[in-house]
């Protein structure tokens, strides 16, 4: 039996339907590959990982395709460990598990919780075959918050002007 592994060719069509990604591909830039030969102690820098409906593609620093793995070959996708990148930035370890090995990447992120959420949602679709929600939890918009504060201050100011008799209705 041949075991699937990372390859340098395009993925072949698989019998199983890939997960549906409503939000488009998840593109991870400036990624480090933790090499298996070094026990994860050597990090290959400058990679880009694109996770889309067909699987994940690893692009080399020059943009060439380094590897393609179809979702049918992935048995697990996890992003739950925090680490500092070799450049000293906060990052998350993303692990893609196939029959032959676990591919470990360090993804720089100023929002590790958000990255972990996105990868977890994608992993749910990969493992279960269910569609990924279009969007994750979002914080309140800064513009909306500022607009509400301005409206509240305007109402307070109008109330003060009416109370002092400066403005009459």
pLDDT digits (tens, 9 = 90+) for 72-122: 888 888 888 899 888 888 999 999 888 888 889 999 999 999 999 888 888
Q: Which two tokens stand for residue 162?
A: 């009416």
pLDDT for res 147: 61
> How far is it, in rounded angstroms, from Cα 161 to Cα 53?
59
| Mean pLDDT calculated for residue range 133-151 | 52
Does this model's pTM top 0.75? My answer is no
User: Which residue matches tokens 């598990």?
Assistant: 97
> How far is it, in rounded angstroms, from Cα 54 to Cα 79?
19
pLDDT for res 86: 84
93: left (phi over 0), alpha (psi -120 to 50) or beta: beta
């Amino acid at each position: 039996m041949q075991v699937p592994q990372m390859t340098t060719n395009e993925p072949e069509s698989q019998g199983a339907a890939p997960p549906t990604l409503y939000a488009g591909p998840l593109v991870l830039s400036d990624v480090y590959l933790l090499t298996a030969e070094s026990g994860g102690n050597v990090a290959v820098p400058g990679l880009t990982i694109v996770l889309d409906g067909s699987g994940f593609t690893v692009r080399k620093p020059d943009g060439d395709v380094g590897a393609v793995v179809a979702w049918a070959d992935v048995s697990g996708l996890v992003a739950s460990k925090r680490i500092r990148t070799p450049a000293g930035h906060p990052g998350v370890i993303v692990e893609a598990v196939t029959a032959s090995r676990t591919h470990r990447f360090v993804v720089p992120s100023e929002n590790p919780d958000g990255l972990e959420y996105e990868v977890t949602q994608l992993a749910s679709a990969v493992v279960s075959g269910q569609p990924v929600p279009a969007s994750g939890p979002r914080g309140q918009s800064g513009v909306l918050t500022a607009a509400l504060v301005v409206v509240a201050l305007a109402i307070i100011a109008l109330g003060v002007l009416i109370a002092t008799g400066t403005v009459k209705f």
